[in-house]
Amino acid sequence: MPRRNRWTLNTLLFAGLAIGCAQDVRIDQDTPARNPSKNWKKIIQKATESSDGVNYDLISRRPKPLARYLAWVSERGQHSNWWGESREDKRIAHLANAYNAMILHTIVEHQPMTSPDDVQIGLYRWPGAGLSRGVRYRLDGEWVTPAKLRNLETVSRYQDPMLWLLFHDGTVESPPLQWWPDRGLQSRLKKTLRDLLKTEAWLSPTETGWAAHPLFFEHEEDFIEWDDKLSLCDWLSPYAPAGPREWLELHSEDCPLERRMPDRRLNEAGR
């Protein structure tokens, strides 16, 4: 079976199971008459002022902007608002921002925790499952799990591996939380990737070469096949800083890139 069809089939099978088992999250907030995204964006920016994580306490102490945003996206989106395919940045940014809001809401509701992997809901008790598969939120008039929103509605639909950088999962190793713009999204993604690859958390020297972030290995086939690259080294080299770029280019075919150890602790500021 072609990989694309296999991906879609597996995701659909998972979605069917999730519908029967996931917990529906009902936001105690009327749908705002006006778009509340600007206020929620301000909270995200303030909660991420520290370079060492997210201020979940701030989000918890000021719950209204998140609740209003989730109520808004529950009835808004590409279908309800008739956003055509030509408005791709707007569609993708809306999905990613909604996903990140769902994840933040679930984390805040299940505090205290040492890791988002601690969230266990119903049958979803293995690491990471409760957070992304054990809950359903309304989006654009339909119930959806964060995992389905990320995997099927966004990454698999648009088949762009760069989109994996959109999604924040609350861990130290997660792509950084930010508000994604509905214009110039690809430029923002490329800048984000270049900035990340300058840090040792995403690309670090080893005794024999270089080690990269686990995200690239978890979705290795996407990075290579969708962008028609020879290897992860080949995919990463255009975005890497000068030092590792030369090594990545040299190993574009054999690519002895090592996998950095994951860090699944909660990325709470000040911890």
Higher pLDDT, 81 or 46: 46
Q: How confident is the model at residue 66 (pLDDT cuts 50, 70, 90)?
A: very high
* DSSP-assigned beta bridge partners for residue 136: 24
pLDDT exceeds 90 at position 221:
yes
**Residues 98, 25: Cα–Cα separation, whole Å:** 14
Look at the block and give the residue holding tokens 């749908």.
31
Q: How confident is the model at residue 18 (pLDDT cuts 50, 70, 90)?
A: very low
Are 266 and 254 spatial neighbours (Cβ–Cβ below 8 Å)?
Answer: no
Tell me the mean pLDDT in the region 181-195: 96
E strand spans, 87-241: 135-139, 142-144, 203-205, 210-212
Structure confidence at residue 270 (pLDDT): 78
Structure confidence at residue 84 (pLDDT): 65
pLDDT exceeds 50 at position 1:
no
- What pLDDT digit, counting tens, does each position of 228-238 carry? 999 999 999 99
Q: What is the mean pLDDT of the chain?
A: 91
- What pLDDT digit, counting tens, does each position of 107-147 carry? 999 999 999 999 999 899 999 999 999 999 999 999 999 99
Share of the chain above pLDDT 70, in %: 90
Share of the chain above pLDDT 90, in %: 84
Structure confidence at residue 162 (pLDDT): 97
Reported pTM: 0.90
Sequence-distant (6+) residues with CB within 8 A of 81 are none
- What pLDDT digit, counting tens, does each position of 19-31 carry? 457 899 999 999 9
